[in-house]
Amino acid sequence: MQRIVIVGGGAGGLELATQLGRSLGKKGKAIIELIDSSPTHLWKPLLHEVATGALDSGIDELNYRAHGKRHGFQFQIGRMHGLDRDNRQIVLAPMLDDQGQEVLAERRVNYDTLVLAIGSVTNDFGTQGAGEHCIFLDSRDQAERFHRTLLNEFLRTNAASENSDEARTLDIAIVGAGATGVELSAELYNTAEVLASYGLKHMTPEHLKVTLIEAGERILPALPPRISAAAKRELEKLGVTVQTGTMITAVDENGFTTKDDSHIPARLKVWAAGVRAPRFLANLGLETNRVNQLKVNASLQTEDENIFALGDCACLIQADGTPVPPRAQAAHQQASHLIKVLKARSEGQPLPEFVYRDKGSLVSLSRYSTVGSLMGNLTRGSMMIEGRIARLVYVSLYRLHQIALHGYFHTLLLSLVGRINRVIRPRLKLH
């Protein structure tokens, strides 16, 4: 029986595994196997909310093994680090426990068709000191670590202000004013507000000093200028200092150094600029671009006809010469498209070509506001939306992901649980 192996159970890979599991795995028409380095899935666009405590990752996570049992695919935990194309095998690195003891030895997994969907990580462009001093938000572990550090810093600042005549501030600087940097800035003010209401009287939003640093001329460069302007206004209203046209050249324990040699002090330093695919992809013998993304044709196929790639780790150049952007909606659309491609392939039909439909972008400024555009960018006639409607559409992006994974009824139940939790649980994860 044909064995389809999907590596990476993220925004794209998990939807693909679920749908192939339902249509082929459950009916015994193919073996569908998902491999991920983590035992659980959390939709990546939620990570900034985990970081600030607005979301408890334990509630929204999904266990791959249990989900696979229900939807007709097998799951194996492991981190891919090599590929043997001659024998059609992927190689998984040994798995170690927290003490460095081996839990699972290096393994090889056979495939007939391989789909790589391992996403991307933040690109610090080799900036001196960034790796050592900055916090990145690429995984749930990193987001949870940030959350613990943030709570400690809030406590520390609160105590310092309490014991002094002078009010202390907590300085946080974020490099990169894309969606992640902008959304995180706003969430931090929400965290300060909620914690103050829970008793940290000396750590109110007024004690928080967030600086958002962007090398380009405006924030949210991928969105139309009027949306950037609206988001900037909202952020400044909250108290964020927005510093555009600022290139960072080095990071140290105390903050960031800019190209014109000024220093931006920061106790917490977050790097949220740039995207690159994991480095090992460049060593698989398949063609990659300069940020390690696998080059694919319009059928999402690499130069090896048995290997496909989708989402952030794939580079597909569109008819207008631009690459498909690394976004959850692109991964979602490509997962749906790959189902058609794999079906056509099994029937010996020509492979359909993927066309990315930009449905617009929304940026959530915590509970304060949501801004964005629908139907693509300004030049193609976008519609700017703000406020409640924008918030509704923003939430619906996650609901679409949940529907692809669980179906309508289960998603309805999940959103009801979310509502109940909002009543019975604290507004913030406090530990």
Ligand X SMILES: Cc1cc2nc3c(=O)[nH]c(=O)nc-3n(C[C@H](O)[C@H](O)[C@H](O)COP(=O)(O)OP(=O)(O)OC[C@H]3O[C@@H](n4cnc5c(N)ncnc54)[C@H](O)[C@@H]3O)c2cc1C
Binding site for ligand X (CB under 6 A): 7-13, 35-38, 41, 44-45, 47-48, 79-80, 117-119, 137, 179-180, 278, 311-313, 326-329, 331
Q: Which is nearer to ligand X, 196 or 313 (CB)?
A: 313
Question: In sequence order, which residues have a C-beta less than 8 Å from that of residue 79 and are 6 or more positions away?
Answer: 37, 92, 93, 95
Q: Which is nearer to ligand X, 129 or 280 (CB)?
A: 280
Amino acid residing at 50: V
Query: What's the closest the beta carbon of residue 90 comes to ligand X, in angstroms?
Result: 9
Amino acid residing at 160: A
Query: What's the closest the beta carbon of residue 183 comes to ligand X, in angstroms?
Result: 6
Q: Which two tokens stand for residue 402?
A: 């949940």
CB 187 within 8 A of CB 48: yes
Q: Which is nearer to ligand X, 134 or 137 (CB)?
A: 137
Residue at shortest CB range from ligand X:
10
In terms of DSSP bridges, do strands 95-96 and 208-213 run parallel, antiparallel, or are they unpaired?
unpaired
Q: Which is nearer to ligand X, 8 or 21 (CB)?
A: 8
Beta bridge partners of 341: none
Main-chain dihedrals φ then ψ at residue 141, nearest 5 degrees: -55, -45
Q: Which is nearer to ligand X, 196 or 394 (CB)?
A: 394
Amino acid residing at 391: R
Query: What's the closest the beta carbon of residue 137 comes to ligand X, in angstroms?
Result: 5
Three-class secondary structure of residue 131 per DSSP: helix
HEC assignment per residue over 319-375: CCCCECCCCHHHHHHHHHHHHHHHHHHHCCCCCCCCCCCCCEEEEEECCCEEEEEEC
Q: Which is nearer to ligand X, 20 or 313 (CB)?
A: 313
Interatomic CA distance for residues 15 and 70, integer angstroms: 14
Query: What's the closest the beta carbon of residue 333 comes to ligand X, in angstroms?
Result: 10
Per DSSP, the residues of 30-75 read: SEEEEEESSSEE--GGGHHHHHHTSS-HHHH-EEHHHHHHHHT-EE
Q: Which is nearer to ligand X, 78 or 255 (CB)?
A: 78
Task: Tell me how crowded residue 44 is: count the other CB atoms within 10 A of its CB.
Answer: 21
Q: Which two tokens stand for residue 333?
A: 């659309």
- Sequence-distant contacts of 338-345: CB under 8 A, at least 24 apart: 338/16, 338/115, 338/300, 338/308, 338/310, 339/16, 339/19, 339/20, 339/23, 341/299, 341/300, 341/301, 341/308, 342/4, 342/20, 342/113, 345/113
Query: What's the closest the beta carbon of residue 197 comes to ligand X, in angstroms?
Result: 25
Query: What's the closest the beta carbon of residue 74 comes to ligand X, in angstroms?
Result: 15
Query: What's the closest the beta carbon of residue 64 comes to ligand X, in angstroms?
Result: 9
Q: Which is nearer to ligand X, 55 or 118 (CB)?
A: 118
Query: What's the closest the beta carbon of residue 259 comes to ligand X, in angstroms?
Result: 25
Query: What's the closest the beta carbon of residue 208 comes to ligand X, in angstroms?
Result: 19
Q: Which is nearer to ligand X, 200 or 385 (CB)?
A: 385
